[in-house]
Structure 1
Amino acid sequence: MQWTEMVIAIVSGFALTIMAMPIVIGFFRTKQLGQTTRDEGPKWHEIKTGTPTMGGIVFLVAAIISTIWVAIWQDVLTLGIGLSLFILILYGLLGFLDDFIKVFKKRNLGLTSKQKLIGQIFGGLLFFVAYRYDGLPTELVFPFLGIVDIGWFYGLFIIFWLVGFSNAVNLTDGLDGLVAGTASIAYGAYAIIAWNQEQIDILIICLTIVGGLIGFFFFNKKPAKIFMGDVGSLALGGGLAAISILLHQEWSLLLIGFIFVVETASVMIQVTSFKLRGKRVFKMSPIHHHFEMSGWSEWRVVLTFWAIGLIAAVASLFMIL
């Protein structure tokens, strides 16, 4: 795949997003549909109440359409693309239902955690069945042990990875432009790995998503005109996990997705500490809110997290390549 063709993949995702986003924003504003800020969130976020959400639909559809036509053009419409798009669509659909209930049914909480978890696990099971049907390896690289074939336990790993990272990105999506930037960095890193491994199918997916996210950022930067919603964050996290599996670079996601890992860890630490000790470790979790409550501006938090994510991704690429 030549540089011009890679640029076309990015531009396709970007252009479709840029063209469609104003229409979606206009629709939500006309119908006076917007996000309701949760009571337990920072008080200064109340100004965001009424901002249109579900913007993830636009860049997801843009990336899916772009991926399919570029893959057909490059003659690489493979199982890898099918599995990746399946996770993006299914997890995006779960997020869409969650957002739809919140926005259109005027309920602050959408799907229950149990309902989302069942859907995520179901997606992981189908992913593994198709993965094994194609005869793909069930090996994992363990420190000091080397490559170990864990057989059917790999299915449990896949479910854990998909569910864990889809929720991790969802937790991170709390500030204007935060996930748009960190996810662009992560997908960009995997695009480089896919290019190095000559897995053109996965490269195309990564590039079209990066293009879509760049287009989305123009509307999501502070002050955000629209939020991505669960439809975007759940899909992005599941997609990252799926791509790390298909590239057989599973553990790399712990570093490439370092910000998502830290955000999730902060919530786990906060909950565990409060239950066991009755004390909070952070002023608020996820940790991006802790820095906000410590006096950091929203832009400072976002730019700092982008920088950390970029450093972690570059470090991962050095180790892999």
Structure 2
Amino acid sequence: MLEQVILYTIILGFLISVVLSPFFIPFLRRLKFGQSIREEGPKSHQKKTGTPTMGGIMILLSITVTTLVIINKFSDVSVEVFLLLFVTLGYGLLGFLDDFIKVVMKRNLGLTSKQKLIGQIIIAVVFFIIFIQHDFSTVVRVPGTELSFDLGWFYFVFLLFMLVGGSNAVNLTDGLDGLLAGSSAISFGAFAVLAWNQSQYDVAIFSVAVVGAVLGFLVFNAHPAKVFMGDTGSLALGGAIAAIAIMLKLEILLVIIGGIFVLETLSVIIQVISFKTTGKRVFKMSPLHHHYELVGWSEWRVVVTFWTVGLLFAVIGIYIEVWM
């Protein structure tokens, strides 16, 4: 029965995204919600200018409808699901504001870094208040070992770092056609397996709903992309995956399962530090996916390679948690 529920969830999530897209993409185009491409980016990306963005709205609709329909059919909405939807939609709204400023107000950088950070922190604070009121554990466990640490109130700082860092890391990965959609499907799929292994079926259903939604979106986002998810989708997915790791008490394992997002973020950090301290760049361009483009790889080759590496990270993460 539960296996069928999971199957229904991924199919429904996929179908909602696929059905919405042919109607929503022309709507975005009529509203002139087209992506502006940074001039300092790879020259091959300039032809993408004007491609409809804010497609993350479709992903959010699919995740929300799918989760609520499936959960309500078989049980009540739990606190875990409420928190997951709250973070996802909260960061999605923040991303929507960022995208709206970019495409409608024609301010290419969108929200300022300070405005975005304040928004991310506010959502994290509300999340923590609800989290602590319902007596969720503040223990952090080291995967594959018997070691664990109760962080107490310091867990708030840890949680804040995870939600803000996770949303920004995933946001940095959204730079090539299909890269983030495929990578996130793999990572959320891994967490769905681990949620199932813990018998946290509500969290598993939510995770699978995300997988279905992003795979449906990938149909139209794969190279050459007909639509981009924008910060509306990437910030939401980043917040969601961090929240899932928190719900499952697999916070540290997120570093492995989300290894692609970590590598992308590290490449930016290394690039900035190197340039500011030595005046030299370690990579031709950061985030990392742009480096490989400028080395001469085709966009599709970069994307497939990153998907493969992401799948490897996901398998390692599942192995550590389930079999070690």
Q: Would the TM-score normalized by the shorter structure come out above 0.5?
A: yes
Note the C-alpha offset of 1:105.
1.4
- Is the 8 Å Cα contact of residues 76 and 201 (structure 1) preserved in structure 2? no
Q: Find the aligned partners of 2:44 and 2:23 in 1 and give their Cα distance.
A: 28
Q: Find the aligned partners of 1:59 and 1:73 in 2 and give their Cα distance.
A: 21
Q: Find the aligned partners of 1:31 and 1:117 in 2 and give their Cα distance.
A: 28
Corresponding residue SS for 2:253 = helix
The equivalent residue for 1:63 is 63
Q: TM-score, normalised by structure 1?
A: 0.98
Q: Find the aligned partners of 1:76 and 1:13 in 2 and give their Cα distance.
A: 19
Which whole-Å deviations, capped at 9, do the CAs of 1:162-185 have from their partners, x for residues lacking one?
Answer: 000100000000000000000000
Equivalent positions of 1:156-195 (< 5 A) are: 156-195=157-196
> Aligned letter for 1:250?
E
Equivalent positions of 1:154-303 (< 5 A) are: 154-303=155-304
Corresponding residue SS for 2:34 = coil
Corresponding residue SS for 1:198 = coil
1:132 correspondence with 2:132: yes
Q: Find the aligned partners of 2:93 and 2:2 in 1 and give their Cα distance.
A: 33
The equivalent residue for 2:49 is 49
Q: Find the aligned partners of 1:182 and 1:233 in 2 and give their Cα distance.
A: 11
Q: Find the aligned partners of 2:290 and 2:76 in 1 and give their Cα distance.
A: 42
Q: Find the aligned partners of 2:275 and 2:212 in 1 and give their Cα distance.
A: 41
Which whole-Å deviations, capped at 9, do the CAs of 1:105-159 have from their partners, x for residues lacking one?
Answer: 1221211111110011111111111111001111112588921111000011000
Corresponding residue SS for 1:152 = helix
Q: Find the aligned partners of 2:33 and 2:152 in 1 and give their Cα distance.
A: 48
> Aligned letter for 1:168?
A
Note closer, same or farther for the CA distance 1:172–1:142 as it changes in structure 2 (3 Å cut).
Answer: same
Report how many residues are paired.
Answer: 321
Q: Find the aligned partners of 1:27 and 1:92 in 2 and give their Cα distance.
A: 19
Note the C-alpha offset of 1:2.
2.0
Note the C-alpha offset of 1:30.
2.4
Corresponding residue SS for 2:135 = coil
Unaligned stretches of 5+ residues in structure 2: none
Q: Find the aligned partners of 1:239 and 1:29 in 2 and give their Cα distance.
A: 28
Corresponding residue SS for 1:251 = coil
- Is the 8 Å Cα contact of residues 94 and 119 (structure 1) preserved in structure 2? yes
Q: Find the aligned partners of 2:23 and 2:166 in 1 and give their Cα distance.
A: 30
Structure 1, 63-72 or 174-183: larger mean CA deviation: 63-72
Note the C-alpha offset of 1:241.
0.3
Equivalent positions of 1:62-81 (< 5 A) are: 62-81=62-81
Structure 1 moving runs of 4+ over 3 Å: 142-145
> Aligned letter for 1:299?
W
1:102 correspondence with 2:102: yes
Q: Find the aligned partners of 2:84 and 2:31 in 1 and give their Cα distance.
A: 33
Corresponding residue SS for 2:52 = coil
1:87 correspondence with 2:95: no
Q: Find the aligned partners of 2:203 and 2:294 in 1 and give their Cα distance.
A: 39
Corresponding residue SS for 1:140 = strand
Unaligned stretches of 5+ residues in structure 1: none
Q: Find the aligned partners of 2:201 and 2:227 in 1 and give their Cα distance.
A: 32
Give the fraction of aligned pairs with identical amino acids, expressed as a percent.
Answer: 53
- Is the 8 Å Cα contact of residues 76 and 200 (structure 1) preserved in structure 2? no
- Is the 8 Å Cα contact of residues 33 and 54 (structure 2) preserved in structure 1? no
Note the C-alpha offset of 1:33.
3.0
Note the C-alpha offset of 1:28.
2.0
